[in-house]
Amino acid sequence: MKILHIDSSILGDYSVSRQLSADTVARLKAVHPDATVTYRDLAANPVPYLTGAHMASFQGAPVTDAALADDLAIGNGYIDDLLAADIIVIGAPMYNFSVSVQLKSWIDRVVVAGKTFQYGATGPEGLLPKGKKAFLISTRGGVYTGGSPAAALDHQEKYLGSILAFIGLTDVTWIRAEGLALGEDAKDAAIVQAQGEIVDLPL
């Protein structure tokens, strides 16, 4: 059993998504004590942004710059992490109605034609091996579920779920803590509820 654990919050010890993603991995380790964990902290070790040189190399242009070659190797490492993992845990806070730039940069490195998806006769096809599971930790300051009028502003969960499905990762469990900016009582209640969901995960 291999677990890939990704954090993308910039809040460090103040981050609820980091707390809940750690709780999720601890729960998984309790059930699978022999599991190995690969941890990627996208805030402490940011993924470099894509450039025109990256895109050219993806289209087959020769790579003659050593720094670009090293950077491409790092990007390939993120794909290797994803391909090797049986379970993926992603801490994904909402920033300005979407995912963090740190997580978006990781996505840009793992959603690569010919490696994690391809276009076939019937359209796009995800290339991730079947059987992988993902636990997505969603944290938000406001409330976007339960008929909330703010639901249309949720470009975080919709985007992340869609892009992972695009590369073949469809067995997804959401663990959500929202309303975190609506006062300490609301924040505490949301965290307790999410922690209860983690305890009760069907693993």
Which positions make up the binding site for FMN? Answer: 9, 15-17, 94-97, 139-142
- What are residue 133's DSSP bridge partners? 87
Binding residues: 9, 15-17, 94-97, 139-142
Any idea which residue has 């040189």 for tokens? 53
- What's the order of all strands across the beta sheet hosting 36-41? 36-41, 2-7, 87-93, 133-139, 172-177
- The answer to whether 178 touches 3, Cβ cutoff 8 Å, is no
Asked whether the beta carbons of 134 and 28 are under 8 A apart, the reply is no
Angle at 191 (CA atoms; ends 4, 33), nearest 5 degrees = 35
Of 27, 1, 9, the C-alpha closest to 180 is: 9
Asked if residues 169 and 132 have their Cβ atoms less than 8 Å apart, the reply is: yes
Reduced to 3 states (helix: H, G, I; strand: E, B; else coil), residue 36 is strand
